[in-house]
Chains A and B, each alone.
Chain A
Amino acid sequence: MEYFAKKYQVIVIGAGHAGIEAGLASARLGCETCVFTINLDWVGNMACNPSIGGTSKGHLVREIDALGGEMGKAADANTLQSRILNLGKGPAVHSLRAQIDRRLYSDYMKHVLELQDKLDLRQGEIIDLKKLDDGTWQVKTHLETVYTADCVIIATGTFLSGKVYVGDVSYESGPDGMFPAKRLGEVLKQLGLPTRRFKTGTPSRVNRKTVNYQKLEIQNGDERIVPFSFDNKHNVQNKLPCYITYTNLDTKSIIMENLHRSPLYGGKIDGKGPRYCPSIEDKMVRFAEKERHQIFIEPCGENTEEMYLQGLSSSLPEDVQIKFIRSIPGLENAETMRTAYAIEYDCVDPLALKATLEFNDYDGLFGAGQFNGSSGYEEAAAQGLVAGINAALKVLGKRPLIFERSGSYIGTLIDDLVTKGCSDPYRMMTSRSEYRLLLRQDNADRRLTPIGHSIGLISDERYSNYLKKLDLIAQEKERVQHTVLSPSDELNKVLVSRETSPVITGIRLIDLLKRPQLNYEILTNYDVDRPDLPYEVFEQVEIDIKYEGYIKRQQAQVDEMHRLEVKLLPETIDYNTIIGLRLEAREKLSKIRPHNIGQASRISGVSPSDISVLLIYLEKESKK
Chain B
Amino acid sequence: MTDRTTIAAISTPMGTGGVGIIRLSGENAAEIADKIFTAFSGKKLSDSEGYKAHYGRVFENGKPVDEAICLVFRAPHSYTGENVVEINCHGGIFITKKILRLTLENGASPALPGEFTKRAFLNGKLDLSKAESVMSLISAQGEQGANAAYNLLEGSLSRKIEEINSVLLSSAAHIAAWTDYPDDEIMEVDTDELYNDLLNTDSELSKLINRFDSGMAVTTGVDAAIVGKPNVGKSTLMNLLTGFDRSIVTSIAGTTRDVVEETVNLNGCILRLSDTAGMHDTGDEVEKIGVKRSRTKLERSAVVFAVFDVSEELTDEDFELINLCKGKNVIPIVNKTDLIKRADISIIEKLLGKCIEISAKDGTGYDTLCEKVAELVGTKDFDTTAAMLANERQLICCKTAHENISEAIQAIQTCLTLDAVGVCIDGAISALLELTGKKASEAVVDEVFKKFCVGK
Q: Which residues of A contact B (CB under 8 A)?
A: 49, 55-56, 85-86, 88-93, 95, 274-278, 283, 286-287, 290, 293-294, 296, 310-311, 313, 420, 429-434, 436-437, 499, 516-517, 546-547, 550, 553-554, 564, 578-582, 602, 604-605, 607-613, 615-617, 619-620, 623-624
Are A294 and B184 in contact (CB-based, < 8 A)? yes
Query: What's the minimum C-beta distance from B319 to chain A, rounded to whole angstroms?
Result: 26
Give the residues in chain B near A88, CB-CB below 8 Å: 417
Give the residues in chain B near A436, CB-CB below 8 Å: 419, 422-423
A-B CB contact pairs (8 Å), 21 listed? A89-B179, A90-B417, A93-B419, A274-B455, A294-B183, A432-B441, A434-B423, A434-B441, A436-B423, A547-B420, A550-B411, A553-B407, A564-B1, A581-B139, A607-B142, A612-B118, A613-B139, A616-B118, A616-B122, A616-B134, A620-B128
Number of A-B residue pairs with CB-CB distance less than 8 Å in the complex they form = 180
Q: Which of B113, B121, B407, B419 contacts A90 (CB 8 A)?
A: B419
Are B423 and A550 in contact (CB-based, < 8 A)? yes
For the complex, would chain B's binding face be called helix, strand, loop or mixed by DSSP majority? helix
Are B414 and A516 in contact (CB-based, < 8 A)? yes
Are A620 and B131 in contact (CB-based, < 8 A)? yes
B94 within 8 A of A: no
Query: What's the minimum C-beta distance from A517 to chain B, rounded to whole angstroms?
Result: 6
Which 7 A-B residue pairs are closest in the complex by CB-CB distance?
A609-B142, A90-B417, A90-B419, A580-B135, A580-B139, A92-B419, A431-B176
Q: Which of B128, B135, B172, B442 contacts A613 (CB 8 A)?
A: B135
Query: What's the minimum C-beta distance from A285 to chain B, rounded to whole angstroms?
Result: 11
Are A609 and B112 in contact (CB-based, < 8 A)? yes
Are B143 and A609 in contact (CB-based, < 8 A)? yes
Are A55 and B182 in contact (CB-based, < 8 A)? yes
Q: Which of A430, A608, A616 contacts B131 (CB 8 A)?
A: A616
Q: Which of B1, B419, B424 contacts A608 (CB 8 A)?
A: B1
Are A277 and B437 in contact (CB-based, < 8 A)? no
Given A88-B417, A616-B131: A429 in contact with B112 (beta carbons within 8 A): no
Query: What's the minimum C-beta distance from A547 to chain B, rounded to whole angstroms?
Result: 6
Given A55-B179, A283-B453, A608-B112: A613 in contact with B138 (beta carbons within 8 A): yes
Provide the bound-state CA to CA distance between A508 and B181, in Å: 38
Query: What's the minimum C-beta distance from B339 to chain A, rounded to whole angstroms?
Result: 44
Give the residues in chain A near B138, CB-CB below 8 Å: 580, 609, 612-613, 616
Provide the bound-state CA to CA distance between A605 and B437, in Å: 8
Query: What's the minimum C-beta distance from A271 to chain B, rounded to whole angstroms?
Result: 17
Give the residues in chain A near B115, CB-CB below 8 Å: 612
Q: A85-B182, A430-B176, A430-B180 are in contact. List 5 more A-B contacts (CB 8 A).
A: A93-B419, A95-B182, A429-B445, A609-B145, A616-B121
Query: What's the minimum C-beta distance from B429 to chain A, rounded to whole angstroms?
Result: 10
Are B423 and A615 in contact (CB-based, < 8 A)? no
Q: Mark B344-382, 1 if CB is under 8 A from A, else 0.
A: 000000000000000000000000000000000000000
Are B437 and A604 in contact (CB-based, < 8 A)? yes
Provide the bound-state CA to CA distance between A231 and B92, in Å: 69
Query: What's the minimum C-beta distance from B226 to chain A, rounded to whole angstroms?
Result: 29
Give the residues in chain B near A611, CB-CB below 8 Å: 1
Which residue, B121, B179, B181, has most C-beta atoms of chain A within 10 A?
Answer: B179
Give the residues in chain A near B137, CB-CB below 8 Å: 580
Give the residues in chain A near B182, CB-CB below 8 Å: 55, 85-86, 89, 95
Query: What's the minimum C-beta distance from A11 to chain B, rounded to whole angstroms?
Result: 33
Are B449 and A550 in contact (CB-based, < 8 A)? no
Provide the bound-state CA to CA distance between A433 and B444, in Å: 11
Q: Which of B118, B180, B418, B453 contacts A429 (CB 8 A)?
A: B180
Near A by CB (< 8 A), chain B positions 406-432 give 407, 411, 414-420, 422-424, 426-427, 430
Give the residues in chain B near A546, CB-CB below 8 Å: 416
Provide the bound-state CA to CA distance between A277 and B135, in Å: 46
B326 within 8 A of A: no
Give the residues in chain A near B113, CB-CB below 8 Å: 608-609, 612
Provide the bound-state CA to CA distance between A49 and B181, in Å: 15
Query: What's the minimum C-beta distance from B402 to chain A, rounded to whole angstroms?
Result: 15
B259 within 8 A of A: no
Query: What's the minimum C-beta distance from A410 to chain B, rounded to whole angstroms?
Result: 16
Provide the bound-state CA to CA distance between A313 and B456, in Å: 8
Give the residues in chain A near B438, CB-CB below 8 Å: 604
Given A275-B455, A579-B136: A294 in contact with B185 (beta carbons within 8 A): yes
Give the residues in chain A near B178, CB-CB below 8 Å: 89
Are B440 and A434 in contact (CB-based, < 8 A)? yes
Give the residues in chain B near A564, CB-CB below 8 Å: 1
Near A by CB (< 8 A), chain B positions 106-148 give 112-115, 118, 121-122, 128, 131-132, 134-139, 141-143, 145-146
Query: What's the minimum C-beta distance from B233 to chain A, rounded to whole angstroms?
Result: 37
Are B442 and A430 in contact (CB-based, < 8 A)? no
Provide the bound-state CA to CA distance between A582 and B423, in Å: 33
Give the residues in chain B near A278, CB-CB below 8 Å: 453, 455
B45 within 8 A of A: no
Give the residues in chain A near B184, CB-CB below 8 Å: 294
Give the residues in chain B near A313, CB-CB below 8 Å: 456
Are A619 and B131 in contact (CB-based, < 8 A)? yes
Provide the bound-state CA to CA distance between A573 and B185, in Å: 50
Give the residues in chain A near B416, CB-CB below 8 Å: 90, 516, 546-547, 550
Which chain B residue shows the least CB distance to A624? B128
Query: What's the minimum C-beta distance from A275 to chain B, rounded to whole angstroms?
Result: 4
B260 within 8 A of A: no
Are A49 and B419 in contact (CB-based, < 8 A)? no
Are A91 and B419 in contact (CB-based, < 8 A)? yes
B164 within 8 A of A: no
Q: Which of B135, B185, B449 contacts A617 (CB 8 A)?
A: B135
Provide the bound-state CA to CA distance between A162 and B423, in Å: 40
Query: What's the minimum C-beta distance from A539 to chain B, rounded to whole angstroms?
Result: 14
Give the residues in chain A near B168, CB-CB below 8 Å: none
Given A429-B445, A550-B423, A580-B139: A93 in contact with B456 (beta carbons within 8 A): no
Are A609 and B456 in contact (CB-based, < 8 A)? no
Which chain B residue shows the least CB distance to A578? B135
